[in-house]
Amino acid sequence: MKRINHYLLLLPAILLSSCNAQKEKNTVSLKDSYKNDFYIGTALDANQIEEKNAKEDSLIKKEFNAITAENIMKSMFVHPAKDKYDFALSDKFVAYGEKNKMFIHGHTLIWHSQLAPWMTEIKDSTEMKAFMKDHITTIVSKYKGRIDSWDVVNEALNDDGTLRKSVFLNTLGEQYLVDAFKLAAAADPKTDLYYNDYNNEEPAKREGNINLIKKIKAGGGKIDGVGIQAHWRLESPSIEMIEESILAYSALGLKVAFTELDITVLPNPWDLKGADVNQNFEGSAKMNPYPEKLPDSVQVKLAERYASIFKLFLKHQDKISRVTFWGVHDGQSWLNDWPIKGRTNYPLLFDKDLKPKKAYQSVMTLKETKK
Ligand code: XIL
């Protein structure tokens, strides 16, 4: 009896301590685990910016300390007509980041995709120069001191490292690259300015990217960082190739950010690499092998792939400013519709029900074992 009483007396303390342990477990998050290494970001769609889903919203606030707008700051949305800007959603996006004390990244100023139709019709250099000046100056000054970094130019390179024949190159020649960075720096001298691309960890494109950065600097442009989009696959690119890229870009004095990280687990049509949003392919059952559930074996592969990538990121955390996932959870990923519409992909750390996947645990475990 005496012994039972003794335990009864201790019971509240035992319950409290297990409750605290539980609480601790619940408060462990990506952003806290990696807080001394780099920002952990996510891309937000319009509903998330507007906090439409309370469960998603609390997950975003718990796990991430950096945000990028997945679409709403692209020129077709923010600058739909020559004399018309629409900042309704980007105002909300910036306010969301400020309210939650997050690092706010602007995506993107000069990009050949998702342009408003009127922009694609610009044929002449005078008109294009005027567009660039107005577009960059208006947007960057509007958020001066509030947006921490910008993708000034997105995807100016071909995979072989040559310059993409975009509407900008065609009308202005390569000087447009230097001018874009100069205009952004003039509008907000303190924000960090990035060049962002996909496949720029591959040797040929990396070479082209290095030349491009040197050209921007030689022309008097201010450039602070390079964004590697990181739309990757289970088997490629190799960790060595990613490491060589981190070293090569940071040797130029730039910050390296991984800006749109996701890993497709689905077959790739014609071995397609990269993230050209204009490419689309026909669907078939063979190309959509896991419509209901991801098999455990692939779940494990994805977890191992994420672990080796984050292990490398930790090794070079002094050179890496931010790692941003392209979406919060699998259900919203653009990879469900690109490059084939209507597939079920599993590229992120949270599943469509917002549950952490094995890949989440593997990324977290890297930090636990380091302690
Ligand atoms: C994608 C968005 O995720 C999709 O919703 C949209 O339909 C197309 O663009 N590189 C980029 C991103 O820089 O802006 C792209 O985002 C993915 C590839």
Cis preceding-peptide flag for 108 (omega within 30 of 0): yes
Nearest-CA residue for ligand 1 atom 15 is: 277
Q: How far is the CA of 5 from the centre of ligand 1 (A)?
A: 64
CA dist 333 and 338 (Å) reads: 9
- The response to whether residue 199 sits with its C-beta less than 6 Å from ligand 1 reads no
Question: Which structure tokens are listed for 88?
Answer: 């309704």
Q: What is the pLDDT of residues 16-34, one digit of tens each?
A: 554 444 444 556 999 999 9
- The response to whether residue 163 sits with its C-beta less than 6 Å from ligand 1 reads no
Output b/e per residue, 166-184; b: 16+ Cβ within 10 A.
bbbbebbeeebbbbbbbbb
Q: What is the per-residue pLDDT for 284?
A: 73
DSSP state of 339: S
Q: Beta-strand (E) ranges in the chain?
A: 39-44, 66-69, 103-106, 149-154, 192-197, 225-228, 231-233, 255-264, 320-325
Determine whether 155 is an active site residue.
yes
- Torsion-angle region of 356 (φ positive above 0: left; ψ -120 to 50: alpha; else: beta): beta
Q: How far is the CA of 370 from the centre of ligand 1 (A)?
A: 34
Nearest-CA residue for ligand 1 atom 7 is: 334
Nearest to 83 by CA among 122, 34, 118: 118
> Domain-by-domain residue ranges, the chain?
37-370
Q: How far is the CA of 222 from the centre of ligand 1 (A)?
A: 25
State the greatest distance between any 2 C-alpha atoms of the chain, in Å, as a whole number: 94
- The response to whether residue 275 sits with its C-beta less than 6 Å from ligand 1 reads yes
In which residue ranges of the chain is pLDDT below 50? Answer: 1-4, 7, 14-15, 18-24, 370-371
Catalytic residue among 56, 155, 201, 202: 155
Using an 8 Å Cβ cutoff, are 181 and 223 in contact?
yes
Could you tell me the pTM of the whole model?
A: 0.92
Q: What is the per-residue pLDDT for 1?
A: 40
The structural architecture, per CATH, of the domain 37-370 is Alpha-Beta Barrel (3.20)
Q: What is the per-residue pLDDT for 20?
A: 47
Catalytic residue among 70, 201, 202, 260: 260
Q: How far is the CA of 33 from the centre of ligand 1 (A)?
A: 28
Q: What is the per-residue pLDDT for 300?
A: 98
Q: How far is the CA of 334 from the centre of ligand 1 (A)?
A: 7
CA dist 221 and 180 (Å) reads: 8
H or E, element range at 11 = helix 2-27
**Cα-based angle 196, 273, 275 (whole degrees, multiple of 5):** 40
Q: What is the pLDDT of residues 95-126, one digit of tens each?
A: 999 999 999 999 999 999 999 999 999 989 99
Testing ligand 1's pocket by substitution, the residue of 45, 49, 70 carrying the most ligand atoms inside 8 A of its CB is 70
